[in-house]
Structure 1
């Protein structure tokens, strides 16, 4: 139907309000209680307009359009009504805006500036209501509330959580929870919709939740931002909650070609950043990924992006997670890719640095097979010492991703005795079925997950007593809590806050001398400062010592490319080395990090190599059509207190005797239950941002 606004004829949808029709046509009418995702209530009176044939101004948000209707926005009566409404709002609102966290982005501020209104005609009414910062994730600044009701409607109607409502208090009407309960007690799901729709700064993210050095969306969804590959964590967890593991795996594979591998061994920094940490334990993202990947049927393969052949040839040196990832995405961009791997099998540290009880061969073989199926040529037992040779052989570009496979031997007295090993060789030999000899008592020097890999591998090779010693105290140690606890269950003896002085023995290892550490920290120059406890020396009798204090690249000195910090390859922002056409990615550039970091580096190098070869650098793909999630999440009593689903392990006395996988996969029911703990932070980003008047 047609209506006339300010003399301009526009088309309006039947059943629409005057406000909706006007805004749709790009004609601004002041409003505040209306939000694009919420029904209006007509309470603020700021959208008052005059309609021909109606004596007094009416709220545009509650007036339905009629064919031929004529509306005037700015008249003496409507302006007076709006001005008085705004003055009444401002009379109880704090006069000082600059201290408000929403300063410059406040709808109320924008609106009263547009209207040219202040509260000077009205005596200010002080509302000395203290702020409420007692709830996790959400702060409530009651003095900034204008009682527009948006947060209540978002909570009750849009989300269906039904926690917020108007409360009558001795300080007047304000937004709160029935019975004076906390948000947690009332069953709040902390989805953040109330924050998102608040037009002022009354309901805000708790201090520290939003990071100034991060984009708004990254602050809202910190798990996705923390993932080096930016996997869409909330999206695939939502599919797991619905029991659709196939769709969940497709979402994961849009970013990484190793979902099941990561489900077994990822360092899950996403969990460290999960907002659930503000209550208790985070979502078990890593193990949910494993459950989803094991339930996959491979249907995503039909949607894989495959571009026409470009005629360009790329050589990848090193078949670890970085090299395989880069090769995978470059092949799908139409480039011919050959991988050169010096070992007998592909996989890099996943194959030779991570014990089979954490990551079985069949998982790696299956996922590497999917990668090679994109037409990639893999040449194993093929070591390339100088990448320039490949450029001379007709390859248009070379990626060096050889990882860090050389263990570090500390300059301790006795480090050359018989029975001293380094982590990289020890783990690799065990994985190859040619283990180094271990005797009854073993000492591992180092406090990271690799130290625990060595210790637990030594147990499985027949050691009777295994020790780990590290400089860090229990709060500083870099091994995960899970590794420490699983190691303790298997009988590993941990000596935290101990310095290693020497390895005792004449020809072979007889013991390790340790001394207690009083303080261990890094000074302003990043130099380690170690203060020891005098007289605390002791010798632990052992037969073998394994250094697990870091790894570094091998053979990079012969590559004739610029290095940095010793053997690491120097690259620019485009992952390119000092030699044109030769790129590098992964641990060989950054030092030993994590599998997911190597995958992310592989993605980045694929983008840059594609651009170097004349492509657009776009390696993104959609293995699943985007679906708009249901904004209605419903209520759940005690939601914030739902415990994290525990991961079942094989009993310690059984698992320490072999290299069989130690973790049991979550059942479908348990995975769905665990996924239901997600706060679904990303739903906030689907709410439409109201347009300010200057955008019309």
Structure 2
């Protein structure tokens, strides 16, 4: 174990109270106790760096940075030290042999909360807050939260729409990376950021929608291929800037995956239609049931007088499992299944069925919960652990609460079938190895751990891809290796 780079190595003199040894850079080591656990430390380390080196990451701190001298300015990292008459900052208090440290107590909670509130009381807010940094679209989160607090719902919705036109839809479907960065969690709990702008938008949708002043007509015409969230977002801002926009989509109604890939219980379609409907009032046209490569080509649109074409065709092709037997009867396309359920069509899952859903993302849990609500017994199988799942913790816990049997660290090896019909899925247990290209640890099969889950329906939900066949070579559009 090496000395943490968080320390400035301003060594002091310590009387040894436990046997000393030397590490590879010549600093003596000793032990101390933090939260009841005996830990090894090196002379020159602070209490905070020892705690972090041993996996204690919940001591709040705002001013501690490895590139700066520790100053304890924020007073958030205070800890109790046995024998001390008051809590001390862990970021610049040297670790000493035999120390007994406690990092959490009611007293520390209230001190930290008071210190944070004092800092926020005169904060000039010129810096970008962590929630806004972690938001992919960098919405002005503090701005709309302040407007909501004042009761200015329309202005709050308008502020969100400056960078994203569908705050109601987003409020129900976004995985909310902003909330994971919310500093309010240092005081009590994170703010429900997504739900807040969803609430403001819903209030506006139930009242007359938030008006926008459009730029004068430019005379330019833009064709948008794809009526999903990306295409409709593009159409909104193009129309706002005075361009004529027409959206072409292969589905009967606009919305793309919002409509056909997200169940009604997660996104009520009547409210979704109200929010999407603002585009039609802005003069955007929509042509349904037409597909690129089948009904028209890109050159046809230019021939019709469009000045530009925006491609937003979405990912409607489900990834294959890549195992024997996946062509058996009873293997169900996840996206088609969810779409048929939304449209009220007959679906291949009924009460009493035994269903295996393979995957750990939103689509997998949408299929899981939809099947449970149809009366099926469901097994949700994922090859990594909870922290690697694409679905939010809330979504996973809701699936478990509704009754799915969740199994982790398992990978499918083959679909078991009799006379061409599914009877089960064979899995093999995994352990996690080194990280792969995604940055997540790669599942490594454990030999001899195979087992079979009996079922009559299998729903693979391991991701979707773009259908690259919709563009011919004459279109002049070339796909990247990422199929974009």
TM-score, structure 1 as length reference: 0.52
**3-state DSSP of counterpart to 2:127:** helix
Structure 1 pair 434/268, CA: closer, same or farther in 2 (3 Å)? Answer: same
> Is 2:138 aligned against 1:230?
yes
Number of residue pairs matched by the alignment: 393
State whether residues 407 and 425 of structure 1, in contact with CA within 8 Å, keep that contact through their aligned partners in structure 2: no
Please give the per-residue CA displacement for 1:88-121, whole angstroms capped at 9, x wherever unaligned: xxxxxxxxxxx9xxxxxxxxxxxxxxxxxxxxxx
Match of 1:105 in 2: none
Residues 441, 544 of structure 1: 8 Å contact kept:
yes
Equivalent residues of 1:136, 1:279 under 8 A apart: no
Q: Which gives a bigger RCO, structure 1 or 2 (Cα 8 Å, sep 6+)?
A: 1
Matched residues in 1 for 2:60 and 2:458: separation?
A: 50
Q: Name which one, 1 or 2, has greater alpha-carbon Rg.
A: 1
Q: Residue 231 of structure 2 is aligned with which of 313, 317, 323?
A: 323
- The separation in 1 between residues aligned to 2:381 and 2:165, in whole angstroms, is 36
Using the alignment, how far apart are the partners of 2:289 and 2:309 within structure 1?
18
Q: Where does residue 553 of structure 1 map in the other structure?
A: 466
Please tell me whether residue 534 in structure 1 is matched to residue 447 in structure 2. Answer: yes
Does the Cα contact within 8 Å between 2:132 and 2:139 map onto a contact in 1? yes
Instruction: Indicate the residue corresponding to 1:475 in structure 2.
Output: 387
Are positions 1:455 and 2:380 aligned together?
Answer: no
Q: Does 1:495 align with 2:403?
A: no
Where does residue 35 of structure 2 map in the other structure?
none
1:540 counterpart SS class: strand
Check 1:475–1:328 CA distance in 2 against 1; reply closer, same or farther (3 A cut).
closer
CA deviation map 1:664-686 (0-9, x unaligned) = xxxxxxxxxxxxxxxxxxxxxxx
Change in 2 beyond 3 A, CA 1:194/1:240: closer
| Cα distance, 1:316 vs structure 2 | 0.5
Describe the shift of the 1:196–1:139 C-alpha distance in structure 2 as closer, same or farther (beyond 3 A): farther
CA shift, 1:553, in A, is 1.4
Cα RMSD between the aligned structures?
A: 3.5
Equivalent of residue 259 in structure 1, options 129, 142, 167: 167
Of the three residues 423, 428, 432, the one matched with 1:519 is: 432
Match of 1:544 in 2: 457
Q: Is the 8 A contact 1:131 1:139 kept in 2?
A: no
- Residue 196 of structure 1 deviates from its aligned partner by 7.2
Q: Is the 8 A contact 2:384 2:443 kept in 1?
A: no
What is the match of residue 116 of structure 2? Answer: 188
Change (3 A) 1:502 1:251: same
Query: Is residue 2:202 matched to residue 1:274?
Result: no
CA contact (8 A) 1:412 1:503 kept: yes
CA shift at 1:250, angstroms?
2.2
1:284, distance to aligned residue in structure 2 (A): 0.9
Maintained 8 Å contact 1:471/1:520? no
Q: Please tell me whether residue 505 in structure 1 is matched to residue 417 in structure 2.
A: yes
After TM superposition, where is structure 1 displaced by more than 6 Å over at least 4 residues in a row? 130-134, 140-146, 179-182, 193-197, 524-528
Report the Cα distance in structure 1 between the residues aligned to 2:335 and 2:155, rounded to whole angstroms: 37
Using the size of structure 2 for normalisation, the TM-score is 0.73
**Structure 2: stretches of 5+ with no match in the other structure:** 1-7, 9-45, 50-58, 75-85, 87-106
Match of 2:303 in 1: 392
Aligned ranges for residues 19-38 of structure 1 at < 5 Å?
none
2:270 counterpart of 1:362:
yes
Distance 1:319 1:193, change over 3 A: same
Checking the alignment, whether the CA contact within 8 Å between 1:515 and 1:536 is kept in structure 2 is yes
